[in-house]
Amino acid sequence: MLRSLVGSEMCIRDRYQRRVRGKQAIAISLPSMPRRGNTVKDVPADQFIKKCADFLKRQPKFQVPKWADLVKTGHFKELAPYSEDWFYVRAASIARKIYLRPGCGIGALRHWYGGAHRRGTRSTKHATASGAVIRNALKQLEAQGLVEEHPDGGRQITSKGRSELDRIAGSIELEGVEGLC
């Protein structure tokens, strides 16, 4: 039984594929193969970061700095984070960023996590985030064996880190996510 194809309704997971050679359409039956596990790129960022933060929280080697409850995440912020687990969330977010962009360094991450510095009546300017928070999160991720230095500068995910992050991403259900087949 061949599904009718209208526009881009055909999903990758369909059992039938249509190949057009000239004007002749041929229906080809594809074998029923199980879908590979989800990677970090396949799952929503917020769900992945929550799961990864829980994973980091369960690791005995991952140590939150003593000053983590006192600092702000940037000089442009007025208050420190309210959540007690904010350092785990930031480290999980950094791990995801490095997974997506290998070679990303502390300066680029400072720019990414920065925000608007509100200067009163003057116009706002972009301000960078705290480098100490990012640096310590990277040190803890390196101690876990998830991140290593990139040969051209910055950091990259290790093979162990890639498998761990993909395992975490594979545990996230994609049934309710719109836009996916």
Per-residue pLDDT of the chain (181 residues; tens, 9 = 90+): 444 444 444 443 343 444 444 545 555 544 544 556 788 888 899 999 999 999 999 998 899 999 988 888 888 888 888 888 999 999 999 999 999 999 999 999 999 999 999 999 999 999 999 999 999 999 999 999 999 999 999 999 999 999 999 999 988 887 655 555 5
> CB count, 10 Å around CB of 127?
17
pLDDT at 100: 93
What count of Cα atoms within 13 Å lies in the side-chain half-sphere of residue 106?
Answer: 12
Concatenating the DSSP letter of every residue in 66-103 gives GGGGT--SSTT-SS--S-TTHHHHHHHHHHHHHHHSTT
Cα angle, residue 89 at apex, residues 118 and 139 outer, rounded to 5° = 100
Residue 16 parent element (H or E): strand 16-21
* Beta pairing, strands 16-21 & 24-29: antiparallel
- Rounded to the nearest angstrom, the gap between the alpha carbon of residue 34 and the centroid of all alpha carbons in its chain is 24
Backbone dihedral angles phi then psi of residue 61, each to the nearest 5 degrees: -80, -20
pLDDT at 42: 86
pLDDT at 20: 45
Q: 25 has which bridge partners?
A: 20
pLDDT at 135: 94
